Structure 1
């Protein structure tokens, strides 16, 4: 194992019960010095970088930046609730500044990820699987930084010296470095199915995503992006390698199963950030918060006047909903129990999924637990009331605005599962999906259309038929069709902002958003890092 030439502080993480798919960690000590690295287990060195991926993908960080700034999501101020200093309104209106709380915090989580991955690279033996994984994780943190902020603090993957200032990579240099690093470790990355470790298929998926967006990253403020034939062919080749490997399969039975607590090693998922349902909370970083923030507070009604934890926060936009074939698209809504008052078998209960519109109904509870009827096999479904002063009912209408008329307006989104019948916010086993096979089919379809060669329709219909059967196929596929399909397929999954910029809809108008400033295509660098890091510059349009 290599030693770094500089002493630095690390958090020593010890894995327990490690299996081929497990990367659980338990923080036990903090110390300084090179001696900790000398005898550390490889997986111990990898743990902080994997853990930081959860932080980046937390519900208030990369998720909020990708979702509430786009045309799929809005987090209104409801009375005095959810104003939060205006941070969500600013995201939606595209008038955030350089000190915006969540752009600042997300940048901090990304740079922490870059640091922990770089530390692991400098301490692991080149040529090993663990070293290759660390380079893969670093490359992914680099991509998030490039996509969201346009600048990547980088220390390299050889001869790392933490006493030197990092390089600041931008545009073409950042793209080429990410690609070169992934190519350099490809043969050392594991093959086969493992959704919580960085594999060759994860690397190929990331490379395809970088090539697909390369024209954006190299000319961020262009009026029209020039997607080169060479880049599009790279996307086609990389996605074809993964699709043709037979390692992953499109989900054909239950679309929402990919976002359930047992989604680790789901056939369609290529790579995800691992979550574990334990007694240790991770400060709101779990993906289930994306669901509870899309539900009404008090989804699980208590007859004693108490309320389950949840949130009356985010919802989707009418313009986005209007694109769906809501009557036939199984991704729009899944009814697990009738949304009406009545009695159902206890074993049948699971929250309804997808877009929740109109009056909501949920299970009757007391003191945080479901009220099981005397027969011990059934529970009652009752109207859901909102957590508000007047205890109004949750009747979610499509019409919504940044200053909401009441707590009920706005269609909620329940894509990611909430576990069990009780409150669930932070402690969840739902892994955060980063790459899945449908994305590769639709990336390949888009690349074929931009290249002007290949059967894009077959790729789009591969996804649609998997979701809704042969009758759900379409007869032709344009770039607009691919763009819409990505909205149907990946809503609430961290894609929308990136897709809107690439397809040229980012400066469009939607509910309460009229800004057309192209500077808002990337977020500001926080003032602190700008002042402290040579070469790191504030992005155009920000003070």
Structure 2
């Protein structure tokens, strides 16, 4: 999202991210003298102050969704991996442990995720507590009912991720609750379900005033469909019919349609997408934090893409996952692979073990921890369009693309999966049509292998197709767990001995500080 394309209201949402960052930093300086403070009792004294509290749960998500949440959703899977190349990127073995499922309760990134999720929940609770039941002698920027319901939907999303990653967690609805106890995962599921259903009537819809980047009715139904899709994992009880019903609310709403091209939802200016239902807006100047290209591209490609700083080349893709794509599948173009050239045809020269040679990106990765090689090993993902030099000035490490959380294709395939699971894993005509409709834009008409039948669309193939369609969209861990594949042995990862790693541990510091919390099994 570029700021020149924003309305004044949207600009207010993204610019408040700076306030969120400042609030995080200020929390660490508890010994400084306080010269003034605004509390929930006196802060909301004008419309702008109400607006800043209302958008804080949204803007805070910009600070954590890619920098932390992406890692926990992708690195334990068969998809993305942060390899050590020429001895660089070891980072105390953090990403090796994530890849091999040997993490512990003392991992920094697990603590960051827990803290971020509950900080986001805290922003939601603070706004709800301050505004609910209060009268104002000034005009509010939006209806109070809508703002409260959006805050509760954002709280539901933060809780969804907490339940998905940590299982049973405390359900805290008000600021100031001391040492809350663990709530069972099934109870967290019920809380999220209740919150979504209760708040849908107060939400606006796509096309209404100031809807973009906010929870709409359709976005709420999409989250509900995802909740029901994973209900058997989350609560112990399958809810396939409810998943289908919620998915139908999205599919039949008339508000969204599949984009013409598979890559359209991920363009630099993707706020006009017909497919994206809920996004986290980013802007390289006013709402930074999405640096996917910097994390994924090799430093040797700095000048090709016109970066102001060298890319890190941290994240690569496992060969087995890349091999899921057929050569005639247009989605294979989201991967950088092979010899690299500048746009004028000049050779891009490699670094380290490719020093003095052309940079060649090879799908094969020799080692997870490579002290002397591996610079060009592992294909790199450019699903989110990278600005080319001269397109709009230098290429910042921060991207202008809005990060997609929920889109129509996912909901269509969720419905197809629910239909199949109701039938013991067998696909019927409706399920096949839903998946083929998503898949069609990725192949030329009549291309070999482009169309599923009821015989070829198995559950295993559906998992593969979800991988192809939703690569790097933070869905793979959840999908692998639901399909019973998370514990399997894979490249440089032995099979897990049990299902304990399907949940992350409550961070050691957190559970030590609050004995009322119950640690997950195996930690």
Please give the TM-score of this superposition, normalised by the length of structure 2. Answer: 0.84
Q: Pick closer, same or farther for the CA change 1:386–1:313 going to 2, 3 Å.
A: farther
Choose the corresponding residue for 2:9, options 19, 27, 41.
Answer: 19
Between 1:477-486 and 1:132-141, the stretch displaced more is 477-486
C-alpha deviations, 1:359-385, integer Å up to 9, x for none? 11234xxxxxxxxxxxxxxxx232222
Which residue number in structure 2 is paired with residue 12 of structure 1? none
How far has the Cα of 1:54 moved from its partner? 1.8
The question of whether the paired residues in 2 share the 8 Å contact of 1:124 and 1:130 is answered with no
How far has the Cα of 1:407 moved from its partner? 0.7
3-state DSSP of counterpart to 2:182: strand
Between 1:105-114 and 1:487-496, the stretch displaced more is 105-114
Which residue number in structure 1 is paired with residue 138 of structure 2? none
Between 1:69-78 and 1:470-479, the stretch displaced more is 470-479
Between 1:483-492 and 1:40-49, the stretch displaced more is 40-49
1:180 aligns with 2:194: yes
Choose the corresponding residue for 1:431, options 392, 402, 409.
Answer: 402
3-state DSSP of counterpart to 2:375: coil
Q: After superposition, where does 1:341-380 map in structure 2 within 5 Å?
A: 354-363=334-343, 380=344
Q: After superposition, where does 1:391-540 map in structure 2 within 5 Å?
A: 392-400=357-365, 401-404=367-370, 405-421=373-389, 424=395, 426-452=397-423, 455-468=430-443, 470-471=445-446, 472-476=450-454, 477-517=457-497, 518-540=499-521
Between 1:471-480 and 1:29-38, the stretch displaced more is 29-38
How far has the Cα of 1:195 moved from its partner? 4.1
Give the structure with the higher percent helix: 2
How far has the Cα of 1:264 moved from its partner? 1.2
Choose the corresponding residue for 2:270, options 240, 257, 263.
Answer: 263
Q: Pick closer, same or farther for the CA change 1:511–1:425 going to 2, 3 Å.
A: farther
Q: After superposition, where does 1:180-199 map in structure 2 within 5 Å?
A: 180-193=194-207, 194-199=211-216
Which residue number in structure 2 is paired with residue 330 of structure 1? 330
How far has the Cα of 1:467 moved from its partner? 3.0
The question of whether the paired residues in 2 share the 8 Å contact of 1:146 and 1:170 is answered with no
Which residue number in structure 1 is paired with residue 96 of structure 2? 89
How far has the Cα of 1:469 moved from its partner? 5.2
Q: Pick closer, same or farther for the CA change 1:257–1:447 going to 2, 3 Å.
A: same
3-state DSSP of counterpart to 1:537: coil
Choose the corresponding residue for 2:150, options 133, 156, 166.
Answer: 133
Q: Pick closer, same or farther for the CA change 1:151–1:362 going to 2, 3 Å.
A: farther
The question of whether the paired residues in 1 share the 8 Å contact of 2:351 and 2:359 is answered with no
> Aligned partners of 1:260 and 1:431: how far apart in 2?
8
> Aligned partners of 1:264 and 1:295: how far apart in 2?
24
3-state DSSP of counterpart to 1:90: helix
The question of whether the paired residues in 2 share the 8 Å contact of 1:150 and 1:171 is answered with yes
Which residue number in structure 2 is paired with residue 337 of structure 1? none
The question of whether the paired residues in 1 share the 8 Å contact of 2:200 and 2:217 is answered with yes
> Aligned partners of 2:177 and 2:275: how far apart in 1?
43
The question of whether the paired residues in 2 share the 8 Å contact of 1:298 and 1:307 is answered with no
Between 1:191-200 and 1:169-178, the stretch displaced more is 191-200
The question of whether the paired residues in 1 share the 8 Å contact of 2:281 and 2:287 is answered with no
> Aligned partners of 1:424 and 1:357: how far apart in 2?
21
Give the structure with the higher percent strand: 1
Between 1:516-525 and 1:262-271, the stretch displaced more is 516-525
Q: Pick closer, same or farther for the CA change 1:430–1:154 going to 2, 3 Å.
A: same
What residue ranges of structure 1 are gaps of 5+ in the alignment? 1-15, 220-226, 334-353, 364-379
C-alpha deviations, 1:162-211, integer Å up to 9, x for none? 14443532221010000101111110011124441111111111111111
Q: After superposition, where does 1:97-246 map in structure 2 within 5 Å?
A: 97-125=104-132, 128-156=145-173, 160-193=174-207, 194-219=211-236, 228=238, 231-246=239-254
Q: Pick closer, same or farther for the CA change 1:119–1:172 going to 2, 3 Å.
A: same
1:294 aligns with 2:296: yes
> Aligned partners of 1:66 and 1:502: how far apart in 2?
14
What residue ranges of structure 2 are gaps of 5+ in the alignment? 1-5, 24-36, 134-143
How far has the Cα of 1:503 moved from its partner? 0.2
How far has the Cα of 1:411 moved from its partner? 1.4
How far has the Cα of 1:312 moved from its partner? 2.1
1:381 aligns with 2:345: yes
Report the count of equivalent residues.
469
> Aligned partners of 2:177 and 2:477: how far apart in 1?
36
C-alpha deviations, 1:420-453, integer Å up to 9, x for none? 4276454322111000000001000000001128
> Aligned partners of 2:459 and 2:218: how far apart in 1?
25
The question of whether the paired residues in 1 share the 8 Å contact of 2:259 and 2:275 is answered with yes
3-state DSSP of counterpart to 2:277: strand
> Aligned partners of 1:537 and 1:167: how far apart in 2?
8
